[in-house]
Structure 1
Amino acid sequence: MSVVKLWARLAGVELMTGRLGGARPMLMDAVIEERDDRGYRRLTLADRSFIQAGLAMRPPLSVRTIARELGVSASTVSREVRAHQVRHWETQHYDARIAHYRALAARPRSRPGKLEHPPLRAAVVSRLNNRYSPQQVAGELTLMFPDDPEMRVSHETIYQALYVQGKGALRHELTVEKALRSGRTARVPKSKLPRRSSRPWLEGARLADRPAEVEARAVPGHWEGDLVVGPGNSGIVTLVERAHRFTLLGRLPGQRDSKTVTDVLVGMIRELPATLARTITWDQGAEMAEHAAFTVASDCKVFFCDPHSPWQRGTNENTNGLIRDFYPKGTNFNEISDEDLAETQRLLNIRPRRILGYRKPADMINELINGVALAN
């Protein structure tokens, strides 16, 4: 290995080969995009320069002092220094510009989607409006533009664009009601486990039959539900609204059969406006075998996840974890009063949620209910 490559590797510099080779250029004042799932903010070049200056002082500032001045946790600074120290002969030191270069080089490089090319997008949309299948669209474009890769696209890319629910989705530009012959707006997950055939109540109520709007979390009134159970055949019904994380809790009266569960569910959503009780997503437990009677009583449809797929109702799974903070495993819910359960529900709904921009589910759901009331 050449000396240049060795020093570049030690410094974390990305080298490009070829006639115009050298260190890959980086815009040093760039800011790395934040992700919703991170519990800490990204460091900027100015932050890293402060860390370098603090460590260079005599005596050097402590990690906790630096973190306090930057408004970040001490572990963020500690990880940063540990990850980006540069060895110089027998010593190691922290260099802000090298550290920032490494961070920029390590970020995932996004590239524009294939269908963001306007002529290609227009060609795909026009053929889908003529009821071509994605395979037919891709095949014809390959024949028509054999020497223009920008005007060719795989059928899988078209499928993915049709299944997207959010802003910019390809389906929003179509004039036909059904983009695919199957009428599906979401891909059907294929479980590796054998299908449960002894549950006739699932027919017509699987996740693939659920309205497409549910996936996007843009329309309120779609819920996820489950049971949190305890000894003595005790348990509570938990419902959480997908868009605003509003939680409803209902105690079961010492029984967990399907009629009891659905009766409790009807009572839980009875006071909600119809626009806030559109669907419920549940697992394949037998406690919802009588969901058809529940739908007749409440006008709220129930859809079932695939077998052994709790992530398909992940918001409810997370909420059940929060509930276990109040009622650890082994809690007998027959001994929990309705007042205590109501207080737990209140506390869950007045928590500011980061995913909601630190707004409270209770405030957001009340705004929706008041808005419906004014409209009527």
Structure 2
Amino acid sequence: MTAAARIPVDLVTGFLGSGKTTLVNAVLRDASFAGAMVIVNEFGEVGLDHVLMSAADDQVLLLDSGCLCCAASGTLRDTLIDLFARRSSGGVPPFDRIIVETSGLAHPGPLVASLLGDSALKPRCVLAQVLTLVDAVNGAATLARYAEAQRQVAFADRVLISKTDIAEPAQASDLVSRIRELNPAAEVARWQRGDSPSRYFAPAASAAPHATAVHAEAWLRGPLRPQYAQAGDGVDTADVEHDHGTAFRQVSTHVLEVPGPIDWPIYAAWTQALSARLGARLLRCKGLVALGDDGAPWVVQGVQGYFAPPERLAAWPASVPHGFLVCIGESITRAELDAIVVPTPSPH
């Protein structure tokens, strides 16, 4: 399977009661998701009344909307490998995207690591996004109390604030601020029951080949935007490092600038040093770095100290003036990161 043909995977996460099942139910009933495979923890959590059409086997259900719904058994890795095998043999109908709903207490790290670096999955699928739901009514208290909820937000590419129809306006506004403190790189939107979910998922035909380019642009709207903002943009140019206060004292976001191209051996030594010294505390890294003699742009992603092989972009995005690496860490100080020297550009 070519890189362009890899199946995009949307990882939907969020704490207990955040609205994941409501969102997944909306996906299952939306005809625009025909051809999608939705993987859930167990069918008992997803209402399938009036949408069930037939069973492809004892695990995969074909729905009226055209979606396939799968009850995950074992690890996500095993479930995906099994589904791809049955897809190839005709055991299940074809699918062109995968949406995974995690449990409310799931740590996204191991799932993201499998999707980014597992040799059996990487040729077949690509992580399109981590989408995290946060309850507008209880979300602030949940984030303050539970490390699992903090990690779910920290790993997110997009955060949906749910239940805004029953929350006070001040609750939702305060929650946006808390989410941005925890993960300034994530896109934050509001969603409630009855809204179409389609705008929060890239079209399946374009998600895989364009995911990395889109993500590189999106990251600039987060922690790097103040650095690159033009006069009149109305952007707060305050320091992008955040003091998260009592609730978020363990999770922080830092941006490392990589001003020019670096050689592959130097890049390897740098990422190995980050992994060795920071390990699993380095929750997630993502960025764009010029690598090699030609200075081509490469998307870098890492999770819990593991760095996946970089993926090359066709061209350097016009809005990105130089390389960068966004590091979201747990109990990591800026001084620790600065002690691991960012590579200097290679003379060419």
- Please, what TM-score do these two structures have when normalized by structure 1? 0.25
Could you state the TM-score of these two structures normalised by the residue count of structure 2?
A: 0.27
More helix by share: 1
